[in-house]
Amino acid sequence: MAIVVIAILTFGFIDFAGIIDNPLLQKIQFGPALFSLSIVTLICLIAATLLLGRLYCSVICPLGIFQDFFNWLSKKFDKKKKYGFKPEKPWLRWGVLAVLIIAWLCGFTFLIGLVEPYSAYGRMADELFRPVYLFGNNILAAISEKLGNYRFYKVLISLKSISAFVVAVLTLLVIGHLSYHHGRTWCNTICPVGTLLGFFSRFSLLRIRIDKDRCNHCLACQRKCKAYCIDSANQQIDYSRCVDCFDCIDACKQKAIYFGPVKRQKADEPIDESKRQFLKSTLVIAALAPAALQAKVTGVKDTRVPMSPPGSISHKNLLNHCTACHLCVSKCPSHVLKPAGMEYGLGGMMQPVMKFDQGYCNYDCNLCSQVCPAGAIKPLTVEQKHKTQPGRVVFNINICVVNVNRTSCGACAEHCPVQAIHMVPFEGGLTIPETTPDLCVGCGGCEFICPVKAVHIEGNPIHLEAKAPEQDTVIETQDFDFGF
Amino acid sequence: MDRRDFLKTLAAAGALVTVKSSGMMDVMASTVPSTGAAPAADNADLAAVMNGEPAAMLEAAMKELGGISRFIKKGDKIVIKPNIGWDRTPELAGNTNPDLIVALIKMCQDAGAAEIKVFDHTCDNWTRCYDHSGIEAAVKKAGATMVYAHEQSSYERVDIPKGVSLKNAQVHKAIIECDKWINVPVLKNHGGALMTCAMKNHMGIVWDRRTFHSRGLHQCIADICTYKPAVLHIVDAYRTVATNGPQGRSASDVVLTKALFASPDIVAVDTAAGKFFTGINKSIKFEDIEHIPDGQKLGLGTMDLESINVKRVRL
């Protein structure tokens, strides 16, 4: 089941031909669901955790399944591989979560995106696995083309951004190393989703249980536990870290370990005071995080205002919701969406930004808005998209080829779907661009095609409404002649 | 361009016209079958048809021109090059009418074509253009091959010895490798070139066409037409984007004109279509569409419709 889930999820990121239309599995990921406030999804996931424990971490989370793959590899190479028991490090876990929350409140969504497991996996899939898949496809296409078959076609492979690539490689190295040598350490120390679900899984109805009468303290379960959460000596399990992998059940020769409903204990567990205090202090710090800081650190420094994708409403909305999973980046058929560098400031690193060096945003395409699982890009119908203005056209007549070379061009107007840039009479029968920025939908067709970059799109930090073009000079005559 | 460059160019162009027009005549002559059933003199040089559906108008035009077998032979490898530039449905006329393409494929199949490939280097995202134009589905259904053109590896750099501004370009291999190709543009308004038709449609066989705009659009369009002239040009004017071209903003830019022009002479067919078009959109002057006289200067054909055998048909 886990293999099927990760296969479908990964395919969602590398699929260039639109074979999977509806990214359902992407929409049930905890991180994006939290950011999009998909209450139903969140309730379902928390309810499932309360019922079954952190099964999510073993069969839904792609990063978890991915780590299990490394773990499996390590066992193949090292038959005697042993884990053990380590006490929980609550300060580290909750500390990381607190830092992330504060960072988010201060506008550094980047940090959450960096460690949020689904997004971290998405970036690896988009930046690392996808090029491999595309390369394979291109080889297939080249062979079939030689044979005169045009069933397969080549696709453009490109490095979308160096920083995103580096981040993906680092993620792969860190995750690979940790999971190969230290099991699920990532999930139980750094991962914010692991920490949150771990909070609920303490109370789960069904859980791994040790039959204290049968157990002979052989430590077999403890050695197999990649989450380091079974204390066989004391017959205790830290349920906040158990990811329901069930390796221990298979390991126990005494059949003392089973997955079942919890027996109610008579005496309440002692309340962990330190944890409570910690939560309180986190909340206080979070509440006090000055809004001024946010404004300062996220201020856009580049002279050109970056453009966020249609449907993202504003830079701020994107910053608050996007975990940079790069699903939109991987789906964009025109190679327009790229992971941002510093365009949105440090906090918005790796979030999608529109760039027109490889293509322009197709007028009738709304794919990115349809796939976003985090509510950072709100769903737009094609009609709604036509009325959205994420940026506006700017024309510099001083370098336009018509003005400089006195030749006709009109490539910009040709590509404009709404005639926000259109040709008007110039000297000697030539025509030169004229802009009506109110009509502009910021698709970047003009910027892409302009041979000298005399036109470009300036982003709107808060998206505006594109005005509908007035209907002009409708040809009414129906009585045509050959004319010659 | 300064005055001296202009004079040089003019001189070069003049020299080329005198040298190359004889070569062009050979190409034209070779398309006429030596053992045709009908005498060549009866065949029209240009057929203009109005008031019919695309397939019926094509049939009428080909009848006037002496049938498709005047242009292609049994066993020929054929490329049909429509305009599929935009992510537009057939009703919005941004691309060549798919019904016309299907009718033409059938004709070529009946004439014994060994292979029929169809492609265009699109402007909008190619998968969306191939899909929404209705052309990919129609071509596949008709039994021809839809070839892609979105990758540089499909193109090869070729010399254009007759070019004035454009000396070489990366041209699609399908055009390079075929025996004969048929140019099937759609007639439209165009913000830059004023009108897009048979000559302008050649931009879709080229990869590196952005340089056209910086080197002088009209001259480059005329230059690329000299590379490997199509044996036949069939202009789809069933629906015409009369204003806000070449994409048109909405259906209100589209006029149901129900016309078709066909000729082996690219300049003549663009002249005919241009005169027809400037009769619809009267704000455009035919004289301002510079690439047509540029083409005549290069010896691609004639703008003088009086000098050739033009047949006009109303269905």
pLDDT-based confidence at A277, cuts 50/70/90? low
Which of A59-68, B29-38, B129-138 bottoms out in mean pLDDT, i.e. has the lowest? B29-38
Nearest CA in chain B to A150: B147
Q: How many CA atoms lie within 13 A of B180 on its CB side?
A: 21
pLDDT for A75 equals: 86
CA distance A45 to chain B (A): 37
Interchain contact, B255 vs A475, CB within 8 Å: yes
- Per the listing, tokens 């995103």 go with A164
For chain A, which domains are there?
2-295 (no CATH), 389-465 (3.30.70.20)
Mutate which of A151, A153, A449 to test chain B, going by most B C-beta atoms within 10 A?
A153
Average pLDDT over residues B37-64: 87
Residue A470 touches chain B, beta carbons under 8 Å = no
pLDDT for B36 equals: 38
Average pLDDT over residues B67-77: 95
Between residues A478 and A301, the one the model is more confident about: A478
The mean of the pLDDT values for chain B is: 87
pLDDT for A483 equals: 83
Mutate which of B49, B122, B249, B315 to test chain A, going by most A C-beta atoms within 10 A?
B249
Nearest CB among A148, A365, A483 relative to B128 is that of A365
Nearest CB among B246, B252, B312 relative to A414 is that of B246
Interchain contact, A419 vs B244, CB within 8 Å: yes
CA distance B305 to chain A (A): 8
pLDDT for A314 equals: 94
Of the ranges A252-261, A407-416, B66-75, the best mean pLDDT one = B66-75
Of the ranges A145-159, A225-239, A299-313, A460-474, the best mean pLDDT one = A225-239
Domain ranges in chain B are 48-314
Global confidence as pTM: 0.80
pLDDT for B21 equals: 42
Nearest CB among A365, A429, A482 relative to B276 is that of A482
Contacts of A148 (CB under 8 A, 6+ apart): B145
Q: State the Rg of chain A over Cα.
A: 27
Interchain contact, A451 vs B275, CB within 8 Å: no
As to burial, measured by CB atoms within 10 angstroms (0-12 exposed, 13-18 middle, 19+ buried), residue A246 is middle
Interchain contact, A410 vs B312, CB within 8 Å: no
Nearest CB among A407, A429, A472 relative to B288 is that of A429
pLDDT-based confidence at A292, cuts 50/70/90? very low
Q: pLDDT tens across A28-48, in order? A: 899 888 888 888 889 999 999
Average pLDDT over residues A331-341: 91
And the tokens for A110?
A: 């980047």
* Contacts A429 to B, Cβ<8 Å: 287-288, 290
pLDDT for A267 equals: 43
Between residues B44 and B16, the one the model is more confident about: B44
Name the pairing type of β-strands B254-263 and A236-237. unpaired
pLDDT for A264 equals: 46
Return d(Cα B101, Cα A161) in angstroms, integer. Answer: 42
Q: pLDDT tens across A166-200, in order? A: 999 999 999 999 999 999 999 999 999 999 999 99
Between residues A194 and A431, the one the model is more confident about: A194
Of the ranges A97-106, A160-169, B31-40, B269-278, the best mean pLDDT one = B269-278
pLDDT at B22 over 60: no
pLDDT at A330 over 50: yes
ipTM of the complex: 0.79
* Contacts A333 to B, Cβ<8 Å: 125, 127-128
pLDDT for B66 equals: 95
pLDDT for A5 equals: 82
Q: CA distances (Å), A179 to each of A72, A127, A306, in order?
A: 9, 20, 37
Contacts of B231 (CB under 8 A, 6+ apart): B31, B71, B72, B180, B181, B182, B264
pLDDT for A218 equals: 87
Q: pLDDT tens across A107-147, in order? A: 888 888 899 999 999 999 999 999 999 999 999 988 888 88
Return d(Cα B70, Cα B74) in angstroms, integer. Answer: 11
Average pLDDT over residues B7-23: 48
* Contacts B247 to A, Cβ<8 Å: 414-417
- Per the listing, tokens 């979105």 go with B150
pLDDT for A213 equals: 85
Residue A333 touches chain B, beta carbons under 8 Å = yes
Nearest CB among A153, A364, A484 relative to B148 is that of A153
Nearest CB among B191, B217, B277 relative to A407 is that of B217
pLDDT-based confidence at B308, cuts 50/70/90? very high
- Per the listing, tokens 């409403």 go with A313
User: Which of A312, A1, A352, A331 minimizes the C-alpha distance to A164?
Assistant: A352
Nearest CA in chain B to A416: B247
pLDDT for A278 equals: 57
pLDDT for B18 equals: 45
CA distance A148 to chain B (A): 9
Mutate which of A414, A435, A446 to test chain B, going by most B C-beta atoms within 10 A?
A414
pLDDT for B5 equals: 60
Interchain contact, A410 vs B281, CB within 8 Å: no
Which of A81-95, A260-274, A385-399, B193-207 bottoms out in mean pLDDT, i.e. has the lowest? A260-274
* Contacts A364 to B, Cβ<8 Å: 87, 128, 132
Nearest CA in chain A to B260: A482
Chains A and B form CB pairs within 8 A to the count of: 139
The mean of the pLDDT values for chain A is: 85
Mutate which of B116, B244, B258 to test chain A, going by most A C-beta atoms within 10 A?
B244
pLDDT for A301 equals: 40
pLDDT-based confidence at A294, cuts 50/70/90? very low
CB atoms within 10 A of CB A18: 10
Architecture, CATH, for domain B48-314:
3-Layer(aba) Sandwich (3.40)
Average pLDDT over residues A150-156: 84
pLDDT-based confidence at B33, cuts 50/70/90? very low
pLDDT-based confidence at B23, cuts 50/70/90? very low
Return d(Cα A31, Cα B45) in angstroms, integer. Answer: 69
pLDDT at B93 over 70: yes
